[in-house]
Amino acid sequence: MTGAAAAPRSHTSTGTTTSTTTGTSTTPGSSQGHSGLGDLLLNRMTTPAGYIGTTPTELIGRSRDLERLAAVTAAPDAGLVTVTGPAGVGKSRLVMEFFRHRGDGPGGGVEVFDFAQVTDTSVAGLMLRQLREQCYEGSPAVRKALERVAAGKHTLLFDHYEDVADDLAPLLAEFRRCCPQVRIVCVGTARLGLYGERVVRIGPLATGDPAPAVPAAPAANPAVELFVQCARSVRPEFALTAENAPDVLALCRQAGGLPLAIELAAAQITLAEPDLILERFENDPGDLHRPDHHPYSRHASIADMVAWVLARLRPEERTQLVHLAVFQGPFTMRAAVGVLDGLHGAAYRTMERLIDKSVLIPDEQHDGELRLSIPHALRRAAAGLLARLPVHTALRRAHAEHFRSAAAGAWAAGGRPGPGPEARADLLAAFEHWRQAGDGTAMAAIAHALYAQCASPAQSSVGLGAGAFAVEAGQCLRLAEEALRVLPADDHRLLARTLEAAGDLALRLASPAARDHLTRAYAAHRAAHDEQGALRCLTLLGEEAYAAGEPDRARRCFEEAHAAALPSAQSGTSAGSADSVATRRHLVRRLAAVLRDAGDLPRARELALAGLAEELGEPGGPGHGSGALLTRYVLATVRWREHDSAQARALFADAAEQIGTLSESAPERAECLELLAVTLNAWHRVTDWPALTATLALADHLRRRSGRARPKPLRDMVGPVLATAAQELTAEQFAGAVASGPAMTWHDALRLIPAAPPAPPPAPVPAAAAVPPPPAPSAVATALTKRELEVALLVAEGMTNRIIARELGIAEWTVVNHLRKVMRKLGCQSRVQVTRRLSST
C-alpha cells in the first residue's frame, strides 16, 4: 500500500476531537509512507467530515440507550464496546449523538473509520489482512503507527464493519493487546465475538398505547414523535390530530417501531395523508424509499435493507430465519422448540448467531424467560419465503397445535397464566388454522385465551386504551361466537365457559347479546354441575340487568347469587370457600349499590352496614383490604344521598379519597365522580359548573379506559346534570370544560365537596316540635361518658378514626383512647362487636 495520503482533518465538537481521514491509493501491499493508522486502514475510503458534528434533527426516544452506553463505556474494563442492533434501528445516529455530547473531553480524540464509504469491500478486507500480518511480523511502520494513535487517551470508532468483520476482529484483538489504553467502539448489526467485548443492544422505538387518550400530545410515544418530526421536515404544516392519530399509530406499529421504516413512511407525507401511506405500507412496504442521501444510513428503502440483511446470512441461518417466520410475533425458546421439530445442537448455535447478527432480538422478561422477536420488515419478507416452501404446511400445523396446547393447558390448570398479550397475533393465526380444520374445541380454547387477555385489567383497559379495547374485545367476541357454532354440544363444561366468555365480552361492549349468552352459560354450568361457574353467571346477569336499567331483575339475580354463595362460604373447608366469601361480600356491595340507585336508601344502608361490619372483622385490623374500602364507599354514598350533613360529607370525602387510590380500571372510580356530581346537583350545592362538567368528563374518560359503559340508572341521573351544566355555561365554556376533564386530578374533583353547611340555614324548629335523636340504650348510656358515647355511635356508622376525629374536633389518638375505653366498658374486643352491641340493645 503505497501512495500519498492527505493529512487527517480534525473536527472539534463539545470538547471531542474527531479525526477523519481522506486520501488516494495506489497499490495495496506496501507499508511505507503512511502517516498514521487511519492511512493504513482507510487508504481507499473517506469518512464524512460531519460524522460527529452538528446534528440535523433531534434524537428521539433514546435517552435510556444513551445512559446505557455511557454506563458501559465508563466501566474500567470497557476496552472494546460494540453497539449492535437490527438494520435501520439508528445505531450510527445514536453513537454520533453520544460522542457529540459525552466524548472524552478536552485532550481526548475520537478517530472514525466508516466502512460504509468503501466501494470495494474485498480490497478493504485485503488491506486489513495485510495489516494484521504486519502486526504479527512486528513491522516497525505499523508499530510506530499504533504508538502514535495510542499516545493519548483516544477512542477508535469503527462503523458499518459487517462486510469486513472476519478480517477486522483479529486485528482489533491484536490492537487491544498492544494498546490497552485505547478504547474501541464498533457499530454494526453483528457483534465481533472477541474476548472481553461489551455489547450494547439497541432496539426499535416503543410504539406505545395504540389508542392514546390525548392524540395531540405524541411526546409519550417516541415512534409517533419521530414520525411527526420527519413529516414536518418535508411538510412543515403537518400536525397530529384526533383524525389522523390512529393511522399514524398504525403506521408506526406496522413499521415495528423501526426508525428507518418510520422515516421512509413519513417522507411520503408530501403527497399523501397517513391513511393512504398506511394502505401503501400494508400492501408493499418495500416500495417505500428515500430520494436523497442519508448521512448515517446506507439503506435507501425497506427492500434494500431486507435484501442486505438476507445476503449476509449463511444458508443455514437463512433457513432457520425463514422457519422462525411462522411466528407472528415475539416467541420464547420453549415455543421455538415446540414448533420447530429437531431444534437441537447445531440449530441452537445457528440461533445464537442470528442473535449476534441482530436478526433475532432478545428481550429478558420479568420471570427470567428470554423472548425473541424478528424485526417486522424482515419477518414479513421471511414469511413470504416460507409460504412458498413445502415445509410451510407442517410448520403451520405445529404452530397451531402449540398455541392450542398452551391455551387449553392454562384453561385446565385454572390458576396457570395463559399466553400473554404479545402472543395475540399467534393466537389469531392458530385460530384461523383450526377454523379451516373445523375443530371447534381448539377454537374455543384459543378464543378463551384471547378473552382472558381482554378481561385482565392490566391488559385491557389501561394497557390497551379505550378504542383498541373495543376493537380487540369485539374481535374476541366474534371468535367466541364462531367457536360456539361448531362446538360439540355434549361438552357442557367447554360450552359453558365459552358462553360465559362471550357473555362477559358482550356485557363490556354493551351488546344486547349479553343476556342470551349469560343465560345459556348459566344453564350449561348447571348441567356440568359447576356451581362456581353458575354463580359467576348469575352475578354477570345481575350486572347486565343493572346496566340495562332493570333494578328489580338485578336485585333478584344478586339475591339468588348471594343465597347460592352462602353455603360454600360458611363451610370454611377449602380455598374455594375463601373465594365464595369474597364473592358473597362483593354481591352484598352490588346489591346495596343497586338499591341505592333505585332509591331504596334505608335497605341499601342496612346492607352496607352489615357488609362493613363483616369486612372489619377480618384479620389485619379494621379498614384493611379493598373489600372494606369498597363497602365503606357504598355506605358513604348512601349516607350522603340520605342527608346533606357535615357527617355525611366527611364520610363521603374520606371514602372518595381512598377510591382515588385504586387503579383506573376500577369501575367505582367513575361511579364516585358521577355520584358526586349528581348529589351536589340534587342538594343545590353546585358552585363551580365548569369544574363539575370537567369532573363528569373525567368520569367518562375513566369509563372508556375501563371498558365499562355507564349503566342506565346512572345515565338517567347524570343526563339532567349535564343538561343543567349546558344551560349554565356558554357553548365555549362547556366544550372547554369537557376537553379539560381527562387531565383533571382526583383531588381537583374532591374540592367540589362543600365543607360549610348550606346557606341560608333552615329555620329553627321550636323546642316543643323538635324531634329528639333516638336515645341510646340505657345500659350503654349509663356505662359510657358523653364523649365515649359519641365515639361509639360514629363507630357504628362505619366511620374511620380519622373521620371521627374530624367530626368531633379532637385528635385521632384521642379517638383511639376513647374507643379502647368503650370496648373495655362494653366488654367488646373489636369495632364489629361495638356496632353489634349498639344495634342489639
| DSSP-assigned letters across all residues of 546-583 | HHTT-HHHHHHHHHHHHHHHHHHHHH-SSHHHHHHHHH
CA atoms 617, 621, 627, 630: torsion sign: positive
The answer to whether the beta carbons of residues 677 and 641 sit under 8 Å apart is no
SS3 category, 655: helix
| Closest to 141 (Cα-Cα) out of 22, 29, 19 | 29
pLDDT of residue 706: 74
List C-alpha distances in Å: 14 to 23, 158, 829: 27, 21, 71
Question: 671 and 542: one domain?
Answer: no
- What is the number of residues in the chain? 841
| Residue with cell string 406499529 | 253
Residue 800 belongs to a domain = yes
What's 789's domain CATH number? Answer: 1.10.10.10
Judged against a pLDDT cut of 70, whether residue 120 lies above it is answered with no
Cα 595 to chain centroid, rounded: 37
Number of domains in the chain: 6
**Tens digits of residue pLDDT in 264-319:** 888 888 888 888 888 888 777 666 776 666 656 677 788 888 999 999 999 999 99
Residue 627 belongs to a domain = no
User: Which DSSP category does 153 fall into?
Assistant: S
Question: 76 and 147: one domain?
Answer: yes
String of b and e for 765-800 (b: at least 16 CB within 10 Å)? eeeeeeeeeeebeeebeebbeeebbbbbbbbbbbbb
Task: For residues 205-217, give the mean pLDDT.
Answer: 54
Question: 379 and 416: one domain?
Answer: no
Exposed (0-12), middle (13-18) or buried (19+): which is 740, by Cβ within 10 Å?
Answer: middle
User: In the chain, what percentage of residues exceed pLDDT 90?
Assistant: 30
**Tens digits of residue pLDDT in 360-391:** 998 877 666 788 999 888 998 999 999 999 99
Task: Say how far apart CA 674 and CA 242 lie, in whole Å.
Answer: 26
Element (H, E) at 706: helix 689-706
Mean pLDDT of the chain: 79
| Residue with cell string 367513575 | 670
Question: 452 and 582: one domain?
Answer: yes
pLDDT tier for residue 624 given thresholds of 50, 70 and 90: very low
**Tens digits of residue pLDDT in 688-726:** 999 999 999 999 988 887 777 889 999 999 999 999 999
Q: How many CA atoms lie less than 13 Å away from 613 in the CB half-sphere?
A: 17
Residue 81 belongs to a domain = yes
Sheet with 16-20, strands from edge to edge, namely 9-13, 16-20, 109-114, 154-159, 183-188, 80-84, 198-201
Task: Say how far apart CA 756 and CA 760 lie, in whole Å.
Answer: 11
What's 463's domain CATH number? Answer: 1.25.40.10
The residue among 137 and 545 whose pLDDT is bigger is: 545
Question: 601 and 738: one domain?
Answer: no
Residue 210 belongs to a domain = no
pLDDT of residue 785: 80
Task: For residues 206-227, give the mean pLDDT.
Answer: 64
**Tens digits of residue pLDDT in 24-71:** 333 333 333 333 444 545 443 444 344 555 556 788 888 899 999 999
The answer to whether the beta carbons of residues 254 and 281 sit under 8 Å apart is yes
Task: Say how far apart CA 671 and CA 596 lie, in whole Å.
Answer: 12
| Closest to 611 (Cα-Cα) out of 577, 579, 634 | 634
Judged against a pLDDT cut of 50, whether residue 339 lies above it is answered with yes
Question: 37 and 158: one domain?
Answer: yes
Judged against a pLDDT cut of 60, whether residue 833 lies above it is answered with yes
Task: Say how far apart CA 489 and CA 129 lie, in whole Å.
Answer: 73
Task: Determine which of 72-76, 113-117, 665-669, 681-685 has the lowest per-residue pLDDT on average.
Answer: 113-117
Which among 280, 295, 323 is the end of a domain?
Answer: 280
pLDDT of residue 241: 83
Q: Residue 374: which domain range? A: 313-389
Task: Say how far apart CA 80 and CA 177 lie, in whole Å.
Answer: 11
Distance from the first to the final alpha carbon of the chain = 108
Question: 137 and 267: one domain?
Answer: no
Task: For residues 337-352, give the mean pLDDT.
Answer: 83
Which among 389, 404, 430 is the end of a domain?
Answer: 389
Judged against a pLDDT cut of 60, whether residue 478 lies above it is answered with yes
The residue among 276 and 116 whose pLDDT is bigger is: 276
Q: How many CA atoms lie less than 13 Å away from 179 in the CB half-sphere?
A: 24
Question: 385 and 403: one domain?
Answer: no
Task: Determine which of 232-241, 336-345, 583-592 has the lowest per-residue pLDDT on average.
Answer: 336-345
Question: 456 and 601: one domain?
Answer: yes
Residue 251 belongs to a domain = yes
The residue among 623 and 407 whose pLDDT is bigger is: 407
pLDDT of residue 746: 92
Which among 611, 628, 652 is the end of a domain?
Answer: 611
**Tens digits of residue pLDDT in 126-137:** 777 766 666 665
Residue 448 belongs to a domain = yes
Looking at residue 391, its amino acid is V
SS3 category, 645: coil
Residue 295 belongs to a domain = no
pLDDT of residue 27: 34
Looking at residue 524, its amino acid is A
Residue 769 belongs to a domain = no
Question: 164 and 255: one domain?
Answer: no
Question: 59 and 114: one domain?
Answer: yes
pLDDT tier for residue 570 given thresholds of 50, 70 and 90: low
Question: 337 and 483: one domain?
Answer: no
